[in-house]
Amino acid sequence: MRYFPLFAQLTGRRCVMIGGGEEATRKIRLLLKAGARPLVIAPRATPEIVEAAARGTLDLVHRAFDPEDLDGAALLVVSDDGGQPVEPILAVARATGIPINVIDNPALSTVIVPGIVDRDPVLVAIGSAGAAPVLVRRLREKIETLLPARLGALADFAGRFRSAVSAAVTDSGDRRRFWEIFFDGPIARQVLAGAEARAYEGMLRAINDRRPAKVPGSVALIGAGPGDPDLLTVKALRLMQDADVVVHDALLGEGILDCVRRDADRIDVGKRKGKHSVRQDEINDILLAEARAGRRVVRLKGGDPFVFGRGGEELEHLRRNGIDVEIVPGVTAALGAAASCAIPLTDRRHASSVTFITGHGKDGALDVAPALLAEGRNTIVVYMGVSVAGGIAARAIAAGRAPTTPVAVIERATQPDQRVLRGTLATLGRVVEAQGVRGPALLVIGDVTAAVQELPQPFALPERVAV
Ligand code: SAH
């Protein structure tokens, strides 16, 4: 180990900063965050530094360095931006023994500033002894996505109860187990989800019982996106990796389920068109039973749970039965498909609105106002519309939409075998039939699709694209 890791307490401490450029400004931000009192010595300073000086959060002087500047200082940071000779300053500093950081120059530094992930009070520091700063940045980004945004709130919450737990659970082994169960358990999850009031009650009960009480499990209603696992949200991924059981649809793209924690149980409740493998009320009951058994249930749905996903019904059932439900939005198929073949769903030149409709409403029929179909500056995205494509096109034409309106059919959007077909409103039914579209596919109707053929289609198989 080439460096000894330390966290420095700088609250109210003077830190001398040589230089006032961009690099210096970034370090000053960090120093201010840590409550330090920077003294900036620079012939020129960025507006941000000047404003901070005007607010009185730091001292700024435009004069030469004076050895007395280091008196009582906790740290010297040097930005060697050519504004002033730094070697004499370093010579003085070395003689005093003050920690020295020369930005981007570990050889001249006695301390270096690590890359950090800040979840105050939790702070993760990463360093490479100056060997590979870009690698450090990459690692930092990875850790950033792994740690819940409210990790700091969780640490603070635990901190508030620390002495109460110590008083209630006197044996140190029992106390460690108490905290382990706490951090793995439902109270911590409630804090992370922002439900602190409930967590507070649970914690008081846990302390009275001398162990975290068993409370019912919870359900996360998660949108898994249109298929490409890279389109999962950070939050979805985090919850999937924490799940005890995942209850999932059939239409998830390959690779999505690979992101679920390996040990989690899997229940496939996929409803394939026309063949309802598990009824909605049965799905509701499965979710409820799993949550009541105290498990972390992930209900994984394609796209977004609240766009033609019956997520609302599941939510209502669970809430009515007192189960905590967290909702995580996903990239709905329309957005995934539009992005993957570069269709701007609105574009002030062609479309000022976009409407998502289903080809199969509650009673199996198309349920949409003719005026919406007729409006020329409205992009229409039809979900579950493949088998009724011709009928929808006829309805739109009958309502007054031009038969020449361009359309695109996007099958298995964002998946490796995505297929894009083009046509017009007049030919839509025939295109779908002739090309044997089996879905899942979307119909996109409107002038915004006209440009599709000229744009790169990363997943499309060109020989099968019909124009
Ligand atoms: N909740 C989902 C939609 C479920 S309805 C969402 O927000 O995307 C199922 C319909 O979504 C399918 O019939 C199809 O029209 C569409 N769909 C889902 N995934 C798709 C994909 N990868 N490519 C094209 N259409 C898709």
Q: How do residues 352-384 score in pLDDT, each as one tens digit?
A: 999 999 998 777 778 888 999 999 999 999 999
Pocket probe mutation, ligand 1, options 251, 306, 438, max atoms within 8 Å of Cβ: 251
The mean pLDDT value for 206-214 works out to 79
Q: Which helix (H) or strand (E) holds 349?
A: none
147: DSSP letter: S
**Candidate list 271, 273, 285, 347, residue with the active-site label:** 271
125 strand-pairing partners: 116
Residue 118 annotated as catalytic: no
Confidence class for position 271, pLDDT limits 50, 70, 90:
low
The full set of domains in the chain, from first to last, is 14-113 (3.40.50.720), 151-209 (1.10.8), 218-330 (3.40.1010.10), 334-466 (3.30.950.10)
Alpha helices per DSSP H over 218-332: 234-240, 280-292, 311-320
Q: Please give the average per-residue pLDDT across 39-59, as a whole number.
A: 97
**pLDDT score of 462:** 40
Is 271 annotated as catalytic?
Answer: yes
377-402 average pLDDT score: 95
pLDDT for the residue 456: 44
pLDDT at residue 454 tops 70:
no
- In the chain, % of residues over pLDDT 90: 79
Q: Choose which residue among 300, 308, 343 to substitute to test ligand 1 binding: the one with the highest number of ligand atoms within 8 A of its C-beta.
A: 308
Q: Parallel, antiparallel, or unpaired for β 406-411 and 419-424?
A: antiparallel
Q: Is the CB of 270 under 6 A from ligand 1?
A: no
Alpha carbons 443 and 28: distance in angstroms, whole number: 53
Of 370, 330, 119, nearest to 236 by C-alpha is: 330
| 156: nearest Cα among 186, 210, 199 | 199
Residue 458: per-residue pLDDT: 41
Cβ of residue 359 lying under 6 Å from some atom of ligand 1: no
pLDDT for 254 equals 75
Global pTM reads 0.71
Residue 277 neighbours by CB distance under 10 Å: 11
Residue 274 pLDDT > 60: no
Residue nearest to atom 24 of ligand 1 (CA): 441
Ramachandran class of 301: left when φ > 0, alpha when ψ lies in -120 to 50, beta otherwise: beta
Longest dimension (CA), the chain: 88
Model confidence band, residue 184 (pLDDT cutoffs 50, 70, 90): confident
Confirm or reject: Cβ of 439 under 6 Å from ligand 1.
yes
Distances (CA, A) of 425 to 25, 183, 278, 449: 57, 56, 35, 12
Which of 314, 383, 392, 412 to mutate to test ligand 1, by most ligand atoms within 8 A of the CB atom? 383
